[in-house]
Amino acid sequence: MLVLRILIAVALIVSAVIHFQLAAGFQQAAPTGIGGGNIFRIQGAVAVLAALYVLVRGTRRSYLLAALVALASLAAVIAYRYVQIPTLGPIPSMYEPVWYTTKTITAVAEALALVLALIGYTLRRKSHTGPQSHVER
């Protein structure tokens, strides 16, 4: 299971690094309010924390957190690619109807992290059935 945890962490770190790299450009689009850049920085930080958590712990909870972070990131990439979501309060519209290399890499990394985290969650759950199945490991 260590290899699985490493792969999940690497996929989340790839997503985080790309979000950190793109943050400045997205902040310029809406310098007031939260701004896309700050949202990207928050996503990057959350992805790093989830990667570290799953790498260090390897519990069902850590796999679930990694899956949720990956799902949220992937859903945002796809939604803002195909749907022109308007400004929502301080959150700017980040509609971007194109696929480019870094966006594609991020989407693939997030999809990979999601699938692997769900596999880890399922395997972890199956390996702990029985009298002590209620105990988090």
User: Is the pTM for the entire model greater than 0.85?
Assistant: yes
pLDDT computed for residue 80 by the predictor: 92
Between CA 47 and CA 77 the distance in angstroms is 14
Locate the domains of the chain by residue range.
2-126
- Angle, helix 2-29 to helix 35-56, in steps of 10 degrees: 170
- Angle, helix 35-56 to helix 60-82, in steps of 10 degrees: 150
Between CA 45 and CA 6 the distance in angstroms is 18
pLDDT per residue of the chain (137 residues) written in tens, 0 to 9: 899 999 999 999 999 999 999 998 888 766 667 888 899 999 999 999 999 999 999 999 999 999 999 999 999 999 999 999 998 887 888 889 999 999 999 999 999 999 999 999 999 877 666 545 455 55
